[in-house]
A and B are shown apart, each in its own frame.
Chain A
Amino acid sequence: MTGLLVLALYVGAFFGSFYLARIVFKSAFEKKGFNKLKTVTFGDESAITANRVASVVSVITVFWLWVAFTNSAIPLPKFPGPFSGDMSFTYTAQLEDGTSDDATVTMRVYREDIQQTLDAEGNPGREPDAPEVEPGEGFAKNDGLTVARYSFKVINVWSNDEVSKRDGSTVVAINGQPVAPGDKIKVPEGTIGLTDKGTPTFEPAVGLRMARLYLPAPEVVFQRFIWLNQEGYQGYTLLEHTWYSLKRVVLGFLIGAVVGVPIGYAMGLTGWARGWFDPIVEFMRPIPPLALIPLIIIWFGIGEVGKVVLLFLAALWIMIIAARSGVSGVAISKVHAAYSLGASKWQILSKVIVPNSLPDIFTGARVAMGVCWGTVVAAELVAANVGLGKMIVTASKFQLTDIIIVGIIIIGIIGFAIEVGMRALENWLIPWKGKV
């Protein structure tokens, strides 16, 4: 249900901010440059430019949803949170002879993540003491208990009573309302009920926000990010985890390219090489690198060599196919022209085929880098000593969701940076791409 609410809010934000932004940021909706003079833009993809206001609002929306559904300290509108603090209810106990007595239960609901918070002196928080209560009159005595948010407590109200449950004392009413075993009563602070055996229970109201275990607030994740840089996790700082993952990717990719590109050229240039490598390439290409992880671990262990071999295999087939299609993309008239100008076979390769295939090789390299980055994280998830994937999977075993989220964000940023970097390199090295 909460999921549907998130979806509805997101869709609402999409359209709502559109109508709002059209009034507030008029200039962002004006067509720029030559597009100003185009009367037809719907259907003309080249006339569409990304509306930067939309991009900013989009990021803010995701961030706000994140805040709104967590117990964040950031002052943004938030959804009703879980109940926290003291509440009390009365129960009526009845003996077999019909005499009854009322007593009060005071529940102290505390933050579920109290041990992960720090006070002003930097000491971790502790679970609060149970509220002190007067025992009161009658055979049923008042109780004081604690319970964490998002949690559930079975209350043995008879523990301090004069007549125990075994001796025939039963709870017949809560807050004056008659109840039978299995019943539940809603109060603003949560749900009070009786178990099937007749013991009172209390479940504090959770609201719509998510517990820290499921989705930590943004500032919690940010603090964890700082902490990971200073203290590190599993013996390595965040930078070291990232560096190890990146190093594996770059190394595996480079070896894959250095081996794959010449093989691809050979396949495009000689029938023997094409016949030789075709079955291998066609067989290996559809196998996802992840499927090779178990074999790689058996052969090479969980160390660096195994990772680099796996990434080499992930990049190799992509680079072979890219180089091969680069050769097949050379216009025959260029080759003929070069031969007619007196070029030797070696010169044809180095002066015509290699430069002409660069655009294809670069496209392949971009794909291969993306696949390698995805594969390294997955490989580290399975087994590794260090790396972003290793950090995430270890954190998940200790339910440190904030570390998992830090890891995911770093993986996303680096994947994005790789793509942007490769594009920039491509524009710089192959200015003629797409202009011929």
Chain B
Amino acid sequence: MSELLIKDISMRFDLPNGGHVQALKNVTLDIKSGELMSVLGPSGCGKTTLLNIVAGFLAPTEGQIMLEDEVVHGPGPERGMVFQQGALFEWMSVRDNVSFGPDMKGMSRAESKENVEHLLDVVGLQDFKEKAVYELSGGMQQRVALARCLANDPDVILMDEPLGALDALTREKMQSLVLDLWKDTGKTIILITHSVEEALLLGERLLVMAPRPGRVHKEYRLPFADMGVGNDLREVKKDPEYAPTREEILEMIWNMEEEIMGRTEESA
């Protein structure tokens, strides 16, 4: 089983003026295979830093990441990334973007064709596969990013605000797509978001992080992701538990933001 262990991670950035920022402090998480975990928190809580450490782009000052009992030392194809925007390769067609991972492994186009075509079908871009990615809308570009990530068949998918730049309608459609892909592929997904709604709808497990130092503040287990699979997300929002949970989390983050503001005002 591809269990992802985040073991006692601390991250300290030294500043040029001699001070330092404690971006993360003693973060420990055990993410089961096939779990969809959303991470929420005010800006500066270290959620993107945490994701970059899991992806292997940053080495933590303390602690380690283990995937299937192997310590993570750098980026690798078993941990796929989906970025907010601008991470597609403009000089390639949609199809070439999707088959980038298999190409890098040295797979021939004939070998990867079936999988690539299937993924293009899944994300609904079969008719656009010959197009250049800069000709697509923002939502379509994120579909390409999802397909490109899945083409590599990673164990874990790390999403850094993948839907953050999309308009509300496109965003809702993409949320359904993410849920469906999660259910169909059974991948472990860690999704970072700024949107409380998105975190609630997509997070089977929801992590609220707090800043200064960045740490896990509270964890939830939520039923909404399972409800949402194959269903209209607007129906899910009518669930009697949905609104109170949303209010609770909003309140929590609101207070954290207030606290940050207060502290900066004091120091100022």
Question: Which residues of A pack against B, CB within 8 Å?
Answer: 331, 333-334, 336-344, 347, 351-352, 355-356, 358, 430-432, 435-436
Q: Are the CB atoms of B90 and A436 closer together than 8 Å? A: yes
A183 and B195 alpha carbons, distance in the complex (Å): 97
Nearest chain B residue, comparing its CB with the CB of A433: B90
Q: Are the CB atoms of A336 and B104 closer together than 8 Å? A: no
Asked if B228 lies at the interface with its beta carbon under 8 angstroms from chain A, I say no
With A352-B89, A435-B134 as known contacts, state yes or no: A343 contacts B104, CB within 8 Å: yes
A211 and B211 alpha carbons, distance in the complex (Å): 83
Asked if B86 lies at the interface with its beta carbon under 8 angstroms from chain A, I say yes
Asked if B254 lies at the interface with its beta carbon under 8 angstroms from chain A, I say no
Question: Which residues of B pack against A, CB within 8 Å?
Answer: 55, 57, 74-77, 79-81, 83-84, 86-91, 100-101, 104-105, 132, 134, 148-149, 152, 154
Given the complex, which residues of A lie within 8 Å of B88, measured CB to CB? 334, 337
Q: Are the CB atoms of B91 and A340 closer together than 8 Å? A: no
Q: Are the CB atoms of B101 and A333 closer together than 8 Å? A: no
Contact pick for B152, options A341, A347, A358, A432, CB 8 Å: A341
Given the complex, which residues of B lie within 8 Å of A430, measured CB to CB? 91
Q: Are the CB atoms of B75 and A339 closer together than 8 Å? A: yes
**Shortest distance in angstroms between B81's beta carbon and chain A's nearest beta carbon?**
4
Name which of A333, A334, A342 has the most chain B CB atoms within 10 A of its CB. A342
Name which of A333, A337, A338, A356 has the most chain B CB atoms within 10 A of its CB. A337
Q: Are the CB atoms of A333 and B87 closer together than 8 Å? A: yes
Name which of B55, B83, B132 has the most chain A CB atoms within 10 A of its CB. B83
Q: Are the CB atoms of A436 and B86 closer together than 8 Å? A: yes
Name which of B57, B100, B152 has the most chain A CB atoms within 10 A of its CB. B100
Q: Are the CB atoms of B90 and A435 closer together than 8 Å? A: yes
Q: Are the CB atoms of B83 and A333 closer together than 8 Å? A: yes
A336 and B154 alpha carbons, distance in the complex (Å): 15
Nearest chain B residue, comparing its CB with the CB of A344: B104
With A331-B86, A340-B81 as known contacts, state yes or no: A355 contacts B91, CB within 8 Å: yes
Q: Are the CB atoms of B80 and A341 closer together than 8 Å? A: yes
Contact pick for B76, options A334, A340, A352, A435, CB 8 Å: A340
**Shortest distance in angstroms between B45's beta carbon and chain A's nearest beta carbon?**
20
**Shortest distance in angstroms between A396's beta carbon and chain B's nearest beta carbon?**
49
Main SS class of interface, B? loop
Given the complex, which residues of A lie within 8 Å of B90, measured CB to CB? 432, 435-436
Given the complex, which residues of A lie within 8 Å of B104, measured CB to CB? 338, 341-344, 347, 351
**Shortest distance in angstroms between A103's beta carbon and chain B's nearest beta carbon?**
90
Q: Are the CB atoms of B87 and A334 closer together than 8 Å? A: yes
A331 and B84 alpha carbons, distance in the complex (Å): 12
Q: Are the CB atoms of B134 and A331 closer together than 8 Å? A: no
19 A-B pairs in the complex with CB atoms less than 8 angstroms apart: A331-B87, A336-B57, A336-B87, A337-B81, A339-B75, A340-B80, A340-B154, A341-B77, A341-B80, A341-B100, A342-B77, A342-B104, A342-B105, A351-B89, A351-B104, A356-B91, A430-B91, A432-B90, A435-B90
Q: Are the CB atoms of B86 and A340 closer together than 8 Å? A: no
Q: Are the CB atoms of B89 and A334 closer together than 8 Å? A: yes
**8 tightest A-B contacts by CB?**
A342-B77, A339-B75, A432-B90, A333-B87, A341-B101, A355-B91, A340-B81, A337-B87
Contact pick for A432, options B84, B86, B134, B149, CB 8 Å: B134
**Shortest distance in angstroms between B30's beta carbon and chain A's nearest beta carbon?**
22
Nearest chain B residue, comparing its CB with the CB of A434: B134
Given the complex, which residues of B lie within 8 Å of A432, measured CB to CB? 90-91, 132, 134
A228 and B138 alpha carbons, distance in the complex (Å): 59
A347 and B101 alpha carbons, distance in the complex (Å): 11
Nearest chain A residue, comparing its CB with the CB of B57: A336
Given the complex, which residues of B lie within 8 Å of A334, measured CB to CB? 86-89
A352 and B77 alpha carbons, distance in the complex (Å): 16
Given the complex, which residues of A lie within 8 Å of B57, measured CB to CB? 336, 339
Q: Are the CB atoms of A336 and B132 closer together than 8 Å? A: no
Given the complex, which residues of B lie within 8 Å of A352, measured CB to CB? 89
Given the complex, which residues of A lie within 8 Å of B75, measured CB to CB? 336, 339-340
Given the complex, which residues of A lie within 8 Å of B91, measured CB to CB? 355-356, 358, 430, 432
Nearest chain A residue, comparing its CB with the CB of B82: A337
With A333-B83, A334-B86, A436-B86 given, can you name 10 additional A-B contacts, CB distance below 8 Å?
A336-B83, A341-B149, A341-B152, A342-B152, A343-B100, A352-B89, A358-B91, A430-B91, A432-B91, A432-B134
A321 and B55 alpha carbons, distance in the complex (Å): 32
Nearest chain B residue, comparing its CB with the CB of A431: B132
Nearest chain B residue, comparing its CB with the CB of A343: B104
Given the complex, which residues of A lie within 8 Å of B76, measured CB to CB? 340, 342
Given the complex, which residues of B lie within 8 Å of A333, measured CB to CB? 83-84, 86-87
A396 and B80 alpha carbons, distance in the complex (Å): 69
